[in-house]
Amino acid sequence: MSDMVMGQGPFDMKYFLSGALAGGICCSITHGGLVPVDVVKTKIQLQPDVYNKGFIGGFGQVIAKEGTGGLLTGLGPTAQGYFIQGWFKFGGVEFFKINITRKVGEETAWNNKTPIYLLSSAMAEFIADIFLCPYEACRIRLVSDPSYAESMVGCAQKMMAESGFVGAFYSGFVPILFKQIPYTMAKFAVQGKAADSIYGALGASPDQPPAIGNLGVSLASGVVAGVAAAIISHPADTLLSKINKGGAGGDGSMFQRMGNIVAETGLMKLCTTGLGARCVMIGTLTAGQFGIFDIIMNATGAAKFHFHDPKKLH
C-alpha cells in the first residue's frame, strides 16, 4: 500500500504520531488556558441561583468567595486529561480520514468529504472519551466543591473509595459521549467546510495560501466551527456538569438520575444556561486548537492532509 494519498504524504507512523502529539499539545494548552472561564461556566451551570450576575460578574463572585486561586480549580486534571483526549482525537481524526480515503478511493472520498469528517471524528472522539472521562469527573467535583480534596490524586482516591471505580469515574460517560461526539463531529465537519469556503472565496488553496496564510484560515474557520459545536453540545455539557455534582439527580441508575436532572432543570434552561459563556469559550478554544495544531505539525515537518479533487491533481 502506498503511503501517498491524493498526491500528499507520506502518511506513515511518523505522520500519525506527529498528529497525535500536535493534538495533545493544542488541547492541553487551550483547555488549560481557559480553565478560569470553565470554572465560572461550570459554577453558573451548577448554582444558577447563586452565580446569577452573568459571565463577567461570575469571575468577581468566584474571586470574592475563593480568592484568585479559585479560578484555577481543576487545572491539573484539565491539562492532563485534555492532552490525552487531544492525542486520540486529533491523531484519530487524521488516522481515520486518511485510511477511509484509502479504503473507498480518492474520487469517492472527494465526493463524500463531510461524511468522512463526521465518521472519523465520531470514532476518534469515542476512543478519546474513554480516557478523558475520569479526569473530567475529578475536575467537576473539585470545581463544585473546592474543599473536597487537596489534589487531583486525592480527589480520585476519595471518589473511588466512596463510589467504586465505575461509579466515581464513569457515571458521566454517557453524558460526555452525548456532549463530546456531536461537538467533535460539528467541530471537524464545520471547520473543514468553513476552510474550503474561505479558500474558495479568496481564490486560494492550502497549496497556494491566501494573504492571511493557511494559519489564518485555520483560525477563522476554527471560530465558526467552535460556535456551531458549542450550541450543538451545550445541553449535554450542562447535564454532565450537574451529574458529576455530589447527590445530583437523586438515587437510581445513571439514566434515572439524568432524567431527574432534566425534569428538575427544564429543557430550556438545560439548553441556554451558560450558553453565551460557552460560545465565547469554545469559539476561542477551537480557533486556538486548529492554529496550534497547524504550527506544531509544521514544526515536526508533517504537512497536514487536505482533501483535494483527484481530477485536478498533477
Query: How far, in Å, CA of 46 to CA of 241, rounded?
Result: 7
SS3 58: helix
Contact by Cβ (8 Å): 245, 213? no
Give the model's confidence band at 96: pLDDT under 50 very low, under 70 low, under 90 confident, else very high. Answer: very high
The pLDDT, as a whole number, for residue 9 is: 84
Least confident of 129-143, 226-240, 259-273, 287-301: 259-273
Is residue 113 within 8 A of residue 101, CB to CB? The reply is no
Residue 48, pLDDT > 50, answer yes
Mean pLDDT for the stretch of residues 255-265: 78
Q: Which residues, 6 or more positions from 258, have their beta carbon under 8 angstroms from its beta carbon? A: 174, 175, 239, 243, 249
Which grid coordinates belong to 268?
A: 430550556
Residue 26: pLDDT over 70 = yes
Q: Count of alpha carbons within 13 Å of 44, Cβ hemisphere only?
A: 25
Instruction: Give the per-residue pLDDT at 42.
Output: 80
In the structure, what pLDDT confidence band is assigned to residue 1 with cuts at 50, 70 and 90? Answer: very low
Q: What pLDDT shows up at residue 41?
A: 81
Residue 94 pLDDT exceeds 50: yes
Q: Which three cell numbers stand for residue 314?
A: 498533477
Answer yes or no: are the C-beta atoms of 205 and 197 closer than 8 Å: no
What pLDDT is recorded for position 245? 65
- At 246 the pLDDT is 59
Higher-confidence residue: 253 or 52? 52
**Residue 168's Cα: distance from chain center in Å?**
22
Question: Which among 141, 180, 175 is positioned nearest to 160, based on CA atoms?
Answer: 141
Residue 101 and residue 260: Cα distance in Å, rounded? Answer: 43
Identify which has the larger pLDDT, 303 or 87.
Answer: 87
- Of the chain, the percentage scoring pLDDT greater than 70 comes to 96
pLDDT of residue 247: 62
Dmax over Cα atoms in the chain, in whole Å? 63
Q: What are the tens digits of pLDDT across the range 158-204? A: 999 998 998 889 988 887 888 889 889 999 999 999 999 999 999 99
DSSP H or E stretch at residue 229 = helix 213-243
* Predicted pLDDT of residue 141: 86
How far apart are alpha carbons 155 and 142 in whole angstroms?
A: 7
Residue 2 in this model has a pLDDT that exceeds 60:
no
| Residue carrying the nine cell digits 479559585 | 70
The per-residue pLDDT of the chain, averaged, comes to 88
CA count, 13 A, side-chain hemisphere, 82: 21
Which domains, ranges and CATH numbers included, belong to the chain?
23-300 (1.50.40.10)
* pLDDT mean over 88-99: 97
pLDDT at 270 exceeding the cut of 80 = no
pLDDT of residue 24: 97
Least confident range of 9-13, 99-103, 139-143, 248-252: 248-252
Mean pLDDT of 74-100: 93
Q: What percent of the chain has pLDDT over 90?
A: 52
In the predicted structure, residue 21 carries a pLDDT above the cut 80: yes
Q: Note whether 80 and 103 are within 8 A (CB).
A: no
pLDDT of residue 5: 92
Q: Which one, of 74, 239, 81, 241, lies nearest residue 146 by Cα?
A: 74
